[in-house]
Amino acid sequence: MTNYDPDKHPLIEMKGVTKAYNPRKGFFGRKGNKVLALNDIDLNIHKGEIFGLVGQSGSGKTTTGRLLVKLEDPTHGKIRLKGELINDLGGKPLQHFRSKVQMIFQDPYQSLNPHLSIAETISEPLVVHGIGSPESRREKVIQTLETVGLRPGKAFYNHYPHQLSGGQRQRVAVARAIVLDPEFIVADEPTSMLDATIAIQLLRLLSRIRDEFGMTFLFITHNLAAAKYLCDRVAVIHEGHIVEVNTAENIIRNPEHPYTKKLIKVQPGFRF
């Protein structure tokens, strides 16, 4: 991965990606057909981009995110990071990959382990990947806390998740995601559980992190306005298909797909 040329390859490349699930057992154990969560997806995300994935629930957004950080593998198709295939990674290369991609989840009340202090939560990835000494890790954690706006970092170091608000927890999740200086972060509806005044601050934070560290983001949301605010380009996903990709500006002004038009129509606003 040393001689990666961002002009030659997108940072992330999905080609013909399909993901099929066996149906969850229904309440009465009925059997159904396979669920095609993703159906033949092609997607490129460039280095330094904040790329938005917008769609309604069940459309395949989280599945896309999970495949890109390799929490799961596709049924068909190829996924590349910096031009290198990740489908069959194992051993050392897989471990290296895991240090380069991170995911931030929707629910700040479930995604942090309540038994770990904030310090333990954020330093865990460093420990797992054997990075630094206890002292340097402590430094790094405090510095990262400050980067995500939890200042002074020392004041939060020994706190536990239950002592923090939802917005602060989400900042801890961001800190944990960036502590290894990853190349790529999937943020899966990170603001959907937050109040508007708190959500907008988190969006600012993600944008600042991109600017400062050049990290690349997949920002998953059902909120087109949030995608417009934060993202360079946006893909609209519907029933496992990407129906259009463009700048948010263009998508909103000239939606091509009927589903996109519908999505725009139902965005809450102040028309009365």
Partner 1 sequence: MSLLSVDNLSIGYETKNGMVKAVDGISFSLEKGRPLGFVGESGCGKTTIGMTLMGLLPDNAKILSGSVRFQTQDLVRLTEDQWRSVRGKDIAMIFQAAMNALNPVYRVDDQVREAILAHRPDISDKELNHRIRELFELVEIPYERIHDYPHEYSGGMKQRVIIAMALACQPQVIIADEPTTALDVIVQDQILEELRAIQSKLNTGLIFISHDIAVVASICEDICVMYGGQIVETGTRKEVFSSPRHPYTKTLLGSYLSLDNEEHIIIPDMRESADLTLASGCCRFQANCTACDAACKSDQPTWIDISPTHKALCCDAGIIRNPHD
Ligand X SMILES: Nc1ncnc2c1ncn2[C@@H]1O[C@H](COP(=O)(O)OP(=O)(O)O)[C@@H](O)[C@H]1O
Amino acid in position 58: G
Scanning 7-15, 80-88, 133-141, 218-226 for contacts with partner 1 by CB under 8 A, the matching segment is: 218-226
User: In whole angstroms, what is the distance from residue 191 CA to residue 265 CA?
Assistant: 21
Nearest in space to 164 (alpha carbons), one of 128, 174, 181: 174
**From 60, 74, 108, 190, residue interacting with ligand X (rule: CB under 6 A):** 60
Q: Is 59 in the site for ligand X (CB under 6 A)?
A: yes
Question: Which residue's Cβ lies closest to Mg ion?
Answer: 62
Residues 194-223, mask of contacts with ligand X (x by CB under 6 A): ------------------------------
User: In whole angstroms, what is the distance from residue 165 CA to residue 243 CA?
Assistant: 37
Q: Is 3 in the site for partner 1 (CB under 8 A)?
A: no
Q: Is 56 in the site for partner 1 (CB under 8 A)?
A: yes
Cross-strand partners of 82:
none
Scanning 57-65, 140-148, 163-171, 206-214 for contacts with Mg ion by CB under 5 A, the matching segment is: 57-65
**From 224, 234, 235, 237, residue interacting with partner 1 (rule: CB under 8 A):** 224
Nearer to ligand X, 61 or 140 (CB): 61
Q: Is 26 in the site for partner 1 (CB under 8 A)?
A: yes
> Dihedral, CA atoms, 222, 15, 88, 76, nearest 10 degrees?
80
Q: Is 222 in the site for partner 1 (CB under 8 A)?
A: yes
Long-range Cβ contacts of 114-121 (<8 Å, 24+ apart)? 114/160, 114/161, 114/162, 116/160, 116/161, 117/157, 117/158, 117/159, 117/160, 118/145, 118/156, 118/157, 118/158, 118/159, 118/160, 118/161, 118/164, 118/172, 119/157, 119/158, 121/161, 121/172, 121/176
**From 62, 121, 216, 221, residue interacting with Mg ion (rule: CB under 5 A):** 62
Scanning 61-69, 91-99, 236-244, 247-255 for contacts with Mg ion by CB under 5 A, the matching segment is: 61-69
Cross-strand partners of 246:
234
> Dihedral, CA atoms, 54, 55, 61, 64, nearest 10 degrees?
-70
CB of 106 vs Mg ion, minimal distance in Å: 7
CB of 176 vs ligand X, minimal distance in Å: 21
Of residues 156 through 185, those in contact with partner 1 by CB under 8 A are: 165-166
Alpha carbon 118 to chain centroid, angstroms: 21
Sheet holding 50-54, edge to edge: 101-104, 184-188, 216-221, 50-54, 233-238, 241-246
Residues 61-100, mask of contacts with ligand X (x by CB under 6 A): xxx-------------------------------------
End-to-end, the C-alpha distance of the chain in Å comes to 54
- The residue ranges that bind ligand X (CB under 6 A) are 21, 24, 35, 37, 55, 57-63
- The residue ranges that bind partner 1 (CB under 8 A) are 26-28, 56-57, 165-166, 195-201, 204, 222-226, 228-229, 252, 262-270, 272
